[in-house]
Structures are given as structure tokens and as C-alpha cells.
Structure 1
Amino acid sequence: MFDKVNEVIQKKIRPKLAMHFGDIELVKVEDGVVEVKLLGACSGCPSARFTLEDIVLTDLQEEIPEVKEVALVSEVSQELIDMAKKILKKDK
């Protein structure tokens, strides 16, 4: 199912998000739950939940009815963690 979900993301969802300077990355598909990262302008956007429900979930379920849910994965990069540690150490 991962490949089918990825194909829908590439052909249908990614172009929609790109119109708003956003992007999406497929992380994992398990038991009907699709985990994605929103990137670009979509990353951290207050409307991210609506994007997931109104665009991502709807488009995926139209093509792949087995998709039950879309979950947003938000990870902090190691680079950002290292930078934060460096800044915090300067204050001491």
C-alpha cells in the first residue's frame, strides 16, 4: 500500500501543496494509517490540520479506500537541536 499512497501523493497532492509553496513527504503506512511530514510553507502552518483532512485524507481515500487516517509527523532535526544546545550553553 505504501507505493499506492506515494503515487497519489506525487501525482495529486504534491502539486496542490506546491501551489502554496508547500510540500509533503510520506513517512510510513501501517494498518490504514498514513504518516506524513508537511514541508515548506506547510510546515508549522496553523492550517496544517485542515490540509491533512481536506486535501490529503480526502484525496487518498478517493483513490485508496483502505486509508483510514492521516497522521502528521513533526520531528525536530538534529541540526536544530544542536543549534539550540549551543545557544543555551552560551547563556550560562
Structure 2
Amino acid sequence: MILLSLVVFDCVRSQRRINTCQGEIKLLMDGRLRWQGQDWTLLRPPWLLKSGMVLRLRAESGRHQHLWLAADSMEEAEWRELRRILLQQPISGQH
């Protein structure tokens, strides 16, 4: 019973964390992203899969975030265009 309680607690905690990472993301003209009211810089090129991409981001405040962007969260043409643009962006977060 204790193990089941721990599993349920972990599922609830995980779902809350996922819910905090939702929202509209905008690609700005200078290659930065606007998400959750903050401007973010790509630290590395996106890790691309057919089903989505992982963005490694840094906010102006210094906060780091790995963000999963699902391909089925947008139209197919939008997804292709976003992939194309992100792959062409210079990565300003690399040292």
C-alpha cells in the first residue's frame, strides 16, 4: 500500500511539472524565443526526432530549461517551417 501511494504521489507531481511547461512559444526575429513571458536563448542546436524536438534554453535571468516540443502540437507545415528555421539559427549560447 505504501508503494502504491508513492507511485500515485509521483504521478501527480510529474503531471503538475508537465502542466507548468505548457504555453505558447514565439520565435523572435533575432533567434531568441519568447515563452512564459520570458525571452530564452538556445544553448545548443535542437535535438530533433520525428515526433518532436528538445530545446535547451537559457533565460535572461540565467535559468536553464529543457523543453520538449511535440510535433503534433502544431500543423505539419508549421512544424516543418519551425524545424527549418531552428536548424538555420546560429546558436548564441555556445562558448
More helix by share: 1
Report the TM-score when normalising by structure 2.
0.28
Report the TM-score when normalising by structure 1.
0.29
More contact order relative to length (CA 8 Å, sep ≥ 6): 1
